[in-house]
C-alpha cells in the first residue's frame, strides 16, 4: 500500500480544494472538508488506475515532511490518501 500526501486549501469564496504534489494537475474540490477528503481519494485512485492501464510508472510517495517543507506557504492542511498498490 502506498500513502500519498494531498493538500487541502480554501479561499474565502470557494470550496475546499485538494491537490497532490506527487501528481501535478490532479485536483478536486468539495463543499466540506469531509467531502473534499472523500473526493480526493476517488480522484487519486482514478488517476493512478489510468496510469497503470497506460503502462506509466506511478511515482513513489513523497514524505509529508518534504511536501510541507516545499509547500508554497498559505494555509494548507495535509491529508494522507492510501492506495492499494505496491
- Domains of the chain plus CATH, in order, are 2-83 (3.30.160.250)
State the DSSP code for 9.
Answer: E
pLDDT value at 5 more than 80: yes
Number of helices (H) and strands (E), helices first, in the chain? 2, 4
pLDDT value at 85 more than 90: no
- Is pLDDT larger for residue 33 or for residue 74? 33
CB within 8 Å of 12: residues ≥ 6 apart:
none
CA-nearest of 17, 14, 10, 65 to 43 is 17
Q: Cα separation of 65 and 25, whole Å?
A: 21
Amino acid at each position: 500500500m502506498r500513502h500519498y500526501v494531498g493538500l487541502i486549501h480554501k479561499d474565502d469564496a470557494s470550496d475546499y480544494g485538494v491537490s497532490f504534489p506527487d501528481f501535478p494537475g490532479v485536483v478536486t474540490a468539495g463543499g466540506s472538508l469531509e467531502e473534499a477528503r472523500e473526493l480526493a481519494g476517488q480522484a487519486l485512485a482514478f488517476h493512478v488506475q489510468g496510469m497503470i492501464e497506460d503502462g506509466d510508472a506511478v511515482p513513489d510517495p513523497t514524505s509529508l515532511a518534504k511536501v510541507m517543507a516545499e509547500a508554497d506557504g498559505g494555509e494548507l492542511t495535509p491529508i494522507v490518501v492510501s492506495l492499494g498498490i505496491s
